[in-house]
């Protein structure tokens, strides 16, 4: 657990043979209106909530869970977390919220082979990833939550309903798996992925003034260079057609 700024906590993923997404908790601590971004891999729910409690945050202050996208390594422990936070709302981009509500798990597993592997490994059944979504996001929202303002930006390409959360005042970007540190980007071969949309999404993110990059995996970056995102987009452009 690392305090990135006053209003942002970082709980690193605990990767196994499948990666565990990082979890971020955003909101001013005094607001009692915190949001948990991306729970993580199946089995990691207790690790994530214990990390939160260890720094003195009461789980009661977490009012909602926001998904950057619904891949297995991000949503795997959602039901574990919801058992501990039964009051928490679930906010997901509508393009991934609808499948989630209908029990269509293609966006969760990404490919059939991965689905059977995960179901065997974790004892999961078809339909385990059916959830009621309290708020469908569309992109373009300015969420006033926890004493902060987070812009929602729809960035499809890695997944259909991927979103970034961006705080203009602190220049923090939470882009899910669309862009990582070290000029890496998310894969674009899974269900609902689209290389040219990913390119457009990277170009959209490149317009933002970003100082702190908080991706879904690998290291976080503070003091991001101003041309980092556009350089990454240009480097990958030949592959994103
Ligand atoms: Zn991921
Ligand atoms: Zn992903």
Query: Which tokens is 150 given?
Result: 């987070």
pLDDT, position 185: 98
C-alpha of residue 178 to centroid of ligand 1, in Å: 9
Distance, CA of 239 to CA of 234 (rounded, Å)? 10
Query: How much distance in Å is there from the Cα of 37 to the middle of ligand 1?
Result: 12
* Angle, CA of 160, 161 and 162, to the nearest 5°: 100
Distance 18 CA to ligand 1 centre (A): 10
Q: What is the pLDDT of residues 152-165, one digit of tens each?
A: 999 999 999 999 99
How many A from CA of 107 to the centre of ligand 1? 12
CA of 177 to the centre of ligand 2 (A): 5
- List CB-based neighbours of ion ligand 2 within 5 Å: 71, 177
Q: Give the torsion through C-alpha atoms of 1, 53, 149, 187, to 10 deg.
A: 50
Closest ligand by atom to 186 CA: 2
Over residues 213-219, mean pLDDT: 98
Please report which confidence band the pLDDT of residue 16 belongs to, taking 50, 70 and 90 as the band edges. very high
CB 40 within 8 A of CB 21: yes
Cα-Cα-Cα-Cα torsion 179, 183, 184, 188, nearest 10 degrees, comes to: 70
CB 157 within 8 A of CB 197: yes
Q: Establish how many alpha carbons lie within 13 A of residue 18's alpha carbon, considering only the half-sphere containing its beta carbon.
A: 20
Distance of alpha carbon 29 from alpha carbon 126, whole angstroms: 38
| Residue 72 CA to ligand 2 centre (angstroms) | 8
For the chain, what is the mean pLDDT?
A: 97
Which ligand is closest in space to the CA of residue 13?
1
With tokens 């000029």, the residue in question is: 183
60 CA to centre of ligand 1 in angstroms: 26
In this structure, is the dihedral angle defined by the CA atoms of residues 106, 109, 112 and 117, taken in order, positive or negative?
Answer: negative
User: Which residue has tokens 């390594």?
Assistant: 73
Dmax (CA) for the chain in angstroms is: 47
Looking at residue 120, its pLDDT comes to 94
Q: Are 24 and 11 in contact (CB under 8 A)?
A: yes
Ligand 2 centroid distance, CA of 30 (Å):
31
How far apart are the CA of 41 and the centre of ligand 1, in A? 9
Q: With bands split at pLDDT 50, 70 and 90, how would you rate the model's confidence at 46? A: very high
Instruction: Tell me, in angstroms, the distance from the centre of ligand 1 to residue 72's CA.
Output: 8
Residue 56 dihedral angles phi and psi, to the nearest 5°: 90, 15
User: Which three-class secondary structure state does DSSP give residue 46?
Assistant: helix
Cα(169) to ligand 1 centroid in Å equals: 26
Region 171-177: what's the mean pLDDT? Answer: 98
How remote is the CA of residue 109 from the centroid of ligand 2, in Å?
Answer: 10
CA 161 to chain centre: 11
How far is the C-alpha of 131 from the C-alpha of 127, rounded, in Å?
Answer: 9
Helices (H), 78-183: 78-84, 94-102, 106-109, 112-122
Q: How confident is the model at residue 47 (pLDDT cuts 50, 70, 90)?
A: very high
């Amino acid at each position: 657990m690392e305090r990135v700024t006053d209003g942002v906590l970082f709980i690193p993923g605990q990767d196994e043979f499948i990666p565990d997404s990082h979890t971020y908790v955003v909101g001013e601590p005094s607001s009692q209106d915190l949001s948990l971004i991306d729970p993580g891999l199946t089995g990691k729910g207790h690790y994530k909530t214990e990390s939160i409690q260890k720094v003195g945050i009461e789980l009661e202050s977490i009012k909602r869970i926001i998904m950057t996208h619904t891949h297995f390594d991000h949503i795997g422990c959602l039901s574990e977390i919801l058992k501990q936070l039964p009051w928490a709302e679930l906010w997901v981009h509508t393009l991934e919220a609808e499948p989630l509500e209908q029990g269509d798990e293609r966006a969760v597993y990404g490919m059939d082979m991965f689905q059977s592997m995960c179901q065997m490994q974790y004892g999961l059944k078809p339909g385990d990833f059916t959830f009621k979504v309290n708020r469908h996001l569309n992109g373009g929202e300015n969420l006033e939550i926890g004493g902060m303002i987070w812009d929602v930006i729809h960035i499809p390409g890695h997944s259909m309903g991927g979103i970034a959360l961006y705080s203009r005042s602190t220049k923090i970007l939470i882009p899910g798996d669309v862009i990582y540190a070290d000029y890496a980007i998310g894969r674009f071969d899974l269900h609902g992925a689209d290389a040219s949309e990913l390119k457009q999404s990277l170009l959209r993110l490149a317009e933002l003034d970003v100082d702190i990059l908080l991706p879904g995996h690998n290291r976080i970056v503070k003091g991001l260079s101003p041309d980092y995102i556009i350089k990454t987009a240009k480097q990958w452009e030949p592959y994103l057609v």
